[in-house]
Amino acid sequence: MQDTRTPRSDPNVAARSDSLADSFECEMTLGGLALQRRDLFCAQSHFSRAHDLAHEFLPNHIRAHRGLLLVGWMRRSPRELAAQLFSILALLLVGRIIYGSRGGE
């Protein structure tokens, strides 16, 4: 008998997806709070973790890079600013090709 479940209907995949989304949001929130405290090392750590969690979903991937861009801005780091701006631009230009028209959904 053939398994007819899709990734969306498989409870293991759905739970993993929810868990990733929750973890991503948590890291983004903690990164934002660290930015408010001007704890740039902590903020970068949280945004980097969020970035690692966001590779499968284009909008979240861009949000993570935007958080890292803010860290670079607050550090006044031309290298980090250039790297994050390039990443965001590349994701906006070719992200639809890589992720598909629905952003990885």
Which pLDDT value is given to residue 99?
72
- Helices 11-36 & 58-75, crossing angle to 10 degrees? 20
With tokens 């803010």, the residue in question is 70
What single string gives the DSSP state of each residue in 28-71? HHHHHHHHHTT-HHHHHHHHHHHHHHTTT-HHHHHHHHHHHHHH
Return per-residue pLDDT of the chain as tens, 105 residues.
454 544 444 455 445 568 899 999 999 999 999 999 999 999 999 999 999 999 889 999 999 999 999 999 999 999 999 999 999 999 999 887 777 655 454
Question: Cα angle vertex 10, ends 9, 16, to 5°?
Answer: 115
pLDDT at 16: 57
Averaged pLDDT of the chain: 85
Provide the whole-model pTM.
0.78
Residue-wise pLDDT for 49-69, tens only, equals 999 999 889 999 999 999 999
